[in-house]
Amino acid sequence: MTRTSRGHLRWAGTAIGVARNGETIAAVRGERRGSRVAYEPLDVGKAAEMVSRGALCAGHMPARQTIARWFEAPFDSKWKARRVMPTLLDIHLPFALEDSCHAIMAGGRAVSGRARYLAVAARIEDVRRRIEELNAAGFDPVVLDHEGLALWSQSISEREPSARDAVRIVVNAAGDASTLAFGTAHEFLAVYPWRTRDLESAARLVKACRAALATQDAVAEWAWTGPEAADAAFVARAREILGAHWTGGHFTHEEPAFFLARAIAGRALSDGPFRCNLRIGALEHRVISEHERRVTAWSAAVLCASSLFLFGSSLGVRLMLSGVEQGLDGEFSAVAARTAGFPVAARGQHALKIVEAAIESRRKDLLPFINRAGPSLTDILGEITAAAASNSLQIASLNLERTKICINGMAGDWAGCQRMVSFLKDLGYDPRLDIKDSGTDGRVPFSIEAGGLEGAPR
């Protein structure tokens, strides 16, 4: 999994985005100005010269050489989910995980409440070959972004969707290196490579993507980019064929031939979701590793300076705390004596144990009155059965006492058992849940044993 700092060049301030579509190269210089990025299209020769003089540049991995997959974590815990995500990705890759450059990015939560993650990957050999291709053209990319993510996020950034659930279809028309990227206002959906001379195949991709959505009524917004987006005759024919499977509004991004390069530079220099860099591991650019070392060295220097400052001021702090400690010691003795009902000469943990013993002795004497004032076992039984019914729990046996409870039965799902445990905690019990494998009917056998406070729950 790539670290966030390895997927961007915000610290650099400027970067050149290089988009290679087949044999065509477009370059854009991006400069970070506050919270936004200003862009300047460049001649390819000038851009290569700037890189040779030390300017940092970013490129992209083509959609046809990458894989993007959504995964729903099998755990509610994000920590556990992040540990298991590489294993899930390995199962779905057509090549070994160790032979890939990959990044896993958090993507909110699914309808089930579990965390969702977007994983992108490419073969190490394909990444190495891409670097060599760009090197041959005069560019040494520090970052290699994912083409589909770049197209979708830049399109959303330059022109917000008309509706929250509208589907933005970014058509990057670039000959044999064309791309279709799909996404909503907040979520990337999919990316497919296609060829402009094969519009029928592209139409089938559009139809398949629409069929995969949960609702077929989503509004489509077609965004046209790429070198061939300036060809009015081609765009008109493509709109007719592709739009027949998903009607919606159409618009063309400004300077479409430079759009992908603009997206690459913008993502490298700005904050935002789904940032990634597929030039990692053994292929990582030396600029990234050197920057990481500088950040680490600076952090160590700051920590050292802070330690020296604290050491120099510690003597004065100790003198001040000595007086405070004496005052607190007197207050502690007074509170302990009032709570225990008699003077307590001991200090620290021993004093606390003496006070606790005195409180426990009085509590046992008051226990009959506490139980009398609290809810009856009948009332508690009614609340437990009502809570079980609301959480789809079928109780087979229930043993209820003031100091303990034991429930056995069947649950509709694991979440219902967890809600029941939370309910028993609110009653004052200390429940322990045991869940067994579900049966053929999908129901989950469960057992809850709980010790309660001595006295009435709550």
Q: Are residues 121 and 234 in the same domain?
A: yes
What is the chain's mean pLDDT, rounded?
83
**Domain of residue 305, residue span:** 298-372
DSSP assignment of 268-307: HHS--TT------GGG--HHHHHHHHHHHHHHHHHHHHHH
Comparison of pLDDT for 164 and 48, the residue scoring more: 48
State the pLDDT at residue 315.
56
Q: Are residues 330 and 188 in the same domain?
A: no
Residue 457 lies in a domain: no
Digit-coded pLDDT (tens) for 87-102: 888 888 888 889 999 9
Band of pLDDT at residue 136, cut at 50, 70 and 90: very high
Cβ proximity of 97 and 91 under 8 Å = no
Measure CA of the first residue to CA of the last residue in the chain; give whole Å. Answer: 46
Q: Are residues 78 and 158 in the same domain?
A: yes
pLDDT at 392 over 70: yes
Domain CATH for 66: 3.30.420.380
Digit-coded pLDDT (tens) for 443-456: 889 899 987 654 44
Q: Are residues 212 and 72 in the same domain?
A: yes
Residue ending a domain, choose from 314, 347, 372:
372
Residue ending a domain, choose from 372, 388, 413:
372
**Distant-in-sequence, close-in-space partners of 365: CB < 8 Å, separation ≥ 6:** none
Residue ending a domain, choose from 372, 400, 429:
372
Q: Are residues 390 and 363 in the same domain?
A: no
pLDDT at 1 over 50: no
Q: Are residues 164 and 211 in the same domain?
A: yes
Residue 458 lies in a domain: no
**Distant-in-sequence, close-in-space partners of 377: CB < 8 Å, separation ≥ 6:** 400, 401, 402
Q: Are residues 336 and 422 in the same domain?
A: no
pLDDT at 203 over 60: yes
H or E stretch at 251: strand 248-252
pLDDT at 58 over 90: yes
**Nearest Cα to Cα of residue 259 among 150, 145, 137:** 150
Q: Are residues 328 and 439 in the same domain?
A: no
Q: Are residues 208 and 268 in the same domain?
A: yes
Rounded Cα distance between 385 and 404, Å, is 16
Comparing 97-111, 206-220, 366-380, the range with the smallest average pLDDT is: 366-380
Q: Are residues 336 and 349 in the same domain?
A: yes
Into how many domains does the chain fold? 3
The structure's pTM equals: 0.64
Provide the β-strand partners of residue 250. 222
Digit-coded pLDDT (tens) for 300-325: 666 666 666 666 666 556 656 666 66
Digit-coded pLDDT (tens) for 403-458: 788 999 888 888 888 888 888 888 888 888 888 877 777 788 989 998 765 444 44
Residue 289 lies in a domain: no
Q: Are residues 368 and 382 in the same domain?
A: no
Q: Are residues 279 and 387 in the same domain?
A: no
State the pLDDT at residue 323.
65
Domain CATH for 434: 3.30.70.60
State the pLDDT at residue 325.
67
